[in-house]
């Protein structure tokens, strides 16, 4: 596992540079006292591993910006890809506080070596009407527009970004959608209509990405019970969800998503093991048996497609701890 003695560690993503795995993660000091205070005090840390188990911490990748900048409150979750220019692009959520509340936008930084990053002028993207809910709409506690997941177009036409976003239409806890943007060069981005509709049973789809398992595609996303419609909350804790998809850009059967992990684990992410090609999963430990926030990362476990029913399942050593308890409750 990956843990920092004096800090909480939560949302993360892993990048394989061909020789080593690079872990980027959110962290904040436990000296804050209240784990809920971590969000407004987050930086993006960095660690490196050869085996996804033993990690060596490196200097932080990014910290919050100066007053008045889009990330002057905190830097949150994102993704990292290598561009055609040879540079690494770290996309992240830039957060700031306005008189109305927290506003999230998408920003980026570049690096020649995954060690030293230079922020690009930004933000690159922000929520815009008519497709995306704004803070002034008054239906949510923040302007949810975050967690950029960037990948190449499958047909070779530039890049796509999936974004945690909300629709301005429908009941407040049923507006979660898959935001979408496109780019030809990773620097200039065009906001597109969302790739899903509201009314699928989720208030927000956090830290999402698409993953191929066998011959099938899935949308992996996260949502806890408190962000579900009221009538769904008694039956589940929420956690990480897996929704069938027709391809990396959908369509997505979000209403048909099933729970992959309950709320003991959160922000579950797939990582392809380089030597074997196995699909592994990592997550952050969200709560212990007494309901207290933990804030550390798990060791990887294997995600495999069941030969019987074709459903993806966690298998092998350590898999027992990942099994969803009855009703998604411990």
Q: What is the DSSP track for 115-174?
A: SS-EEPSS-SEE--TTTS--GGG-SSSEE-EEEEEEEE-TTSSSEEEEEEEE-SSS-GGG
Domain boundaries along the sequence of the chain:
7-328
- Specify the pLDDT at position 289: 93
Q: Cβ atoms within 10 A of the Cβ of 59, count?
A: 8
State mean pLDDT over 257-276. 96
Instruction: Name the least confident of 92-96, 218-222, 231-235, 326-330.
Output: 326-330
Closest C-alpha among 14, 5, 43, 13 to residue 27: 43
With a cut of 90, say whether residue 309 has pLDDT above it: no
pLDDT of residue 327: 56
> Using 50, 70 and 90 to split pLDDT, how confident is the model at 21?
very high
Instruction: Compute the average pLDDT of residues 125-151.
Output: 97
Statement: residue 326 has pLDDT above 60: no
- Whether residue 157 is predicted with pLDDT greater than 90 in this model: the reply is yes
Residues of the chain with pLDDT > 90, as a percent, come to 91
Cα–Cα distance between 244 and 223 in angstroms, integer?
A: 16
pLDDT in tens, 179-235: 999 999 999 999 999 999 999 999 999 999 999 998 899 999 999 999 999 999 999
CATH number belonging to domain 7-328:
2.115.10.20
pLDDT score of 330: 39
Strands 142-143 and 101-111: parallel
Rounded to the nearest angstrom, the gap between the alpha carbon of residue 178 and the centroid of all alpha carbons in its chain is 12
DSSP structure class, residue 300:
P
Residues recorded for the chain: 330
Count CB atoms within 10 A of the CB of residue 138. 10
Question: What is the average pLDDT value for the chain, to the nearest integer?
Answer: 95
Question: Which band of pLDDT confidence, cut at 50, 70 and 90, is reported for residue 315?
Answer: confident
Contact in structure between 226 and 198 (CB atoms under 8 Å): no
Report how far residue 39's alpha carbon sits from residue 29's, in angstroms, rounded to the nearest whole number: 11
The predicted pLDDT at position 308 comes to 72
* 137/100 Cα distance (integer angstroms): 10
- pLDDT at residue 160 greater than cutoff 70: yes
Q: From CA 212, how far away is CA 248, in angstroms rounded? A: 8
Question: If you average pLDDT over residues 301-326, what whole number do you get?
Answer: 82
What tens digit of pLDDT does each residue of 57-76 get? 999 999 999 999 999 999 99
* N-terminal to C-terminal alpha carbon distance within the chain: 21
- Eight-state DSSP code of residue 232: G
313 falls in which pLDDT band (50, 70, 90)? confident
**H helical segments located in 5-141:** none
Three-state secondary-structure class, residue 234: helix
- The mean pLDDT of 158-163, rounded to a whole number, is 98
DSSP E strands, 214-328: 216-224, 238-245, 258-261, 265-272, 279-287, 293-297, 301-305, 312-315
Residues 302-316, mean pLDDT to the nearest whole number:
83
Query: In this structure, what token pair is assigned to residue 180?
Result: 């979408």
């Amino acid at each position: 596992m990956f843990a920092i003695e004096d800090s909480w560690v939560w949302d993360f993503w892993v990048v394989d540079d061909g020789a080593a795995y690079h872990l980027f993660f959110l962290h904040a000091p436990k000296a804050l006292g209240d784990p809920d205070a971590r969000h407004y005090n987050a930086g993006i840390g960095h660690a490196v591993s050869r085996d996804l188990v033993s990690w060596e911490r490196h200097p932080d990748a990014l910290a919050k910006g100066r007053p008045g900048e889009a990330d002057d409150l905190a830097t949150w979750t994102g993704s990292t890809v290598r561009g055609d220019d040879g540079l690494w692009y770290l996309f992240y959520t830039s957060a700031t506080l306005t008189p109305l509340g927290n506003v999230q936008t998408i920003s980026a930084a570049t690096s020649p070596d995954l060690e030293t990053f230079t922020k690009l002028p930004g933000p690159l993207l922000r929520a815009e009407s008519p497709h995306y809910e704004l803070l002034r709409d008054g239906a949510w506690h923040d302007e949810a527009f975050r967690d950029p997941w960037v990948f190449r177009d499958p047909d070779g036409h530039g890049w796509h970004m999936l974004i945690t976003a909300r629709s301005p239409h429908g009941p407040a806890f049923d507006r979660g959608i898959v935001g979408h943007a496109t780019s030809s060069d990773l620097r200039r981005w065009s906001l597109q209509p969302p790739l899903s509709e509201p009314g699928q049973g989720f208030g927000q789809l956090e830290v999402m990405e698409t993953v191929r398992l066998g011959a099938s595609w899935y949308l992996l996303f996260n949502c806890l019970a408190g962000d579900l419609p009221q009538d769904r909350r008694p039956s589940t804790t929420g956690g990480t969800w897996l929704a069938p998809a027709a391809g990396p850009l959908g369509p997505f059967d979000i209403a048909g998503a099933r729970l992959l992990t309950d709320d003991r684990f959160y922000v579950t992410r797939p990582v392809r093991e380089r030597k074997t090609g196995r699909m592994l999963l990592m997550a952050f430990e969200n709560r212990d048996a007494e309901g207290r926030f933990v804030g550390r990362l798990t060791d990887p476990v294997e995600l495999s497609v069941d030969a019987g029913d074709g459903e993806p399942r966690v298998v092998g050593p350590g898999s027992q701890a990942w099994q969803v308890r009855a009703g998604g409750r411990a």
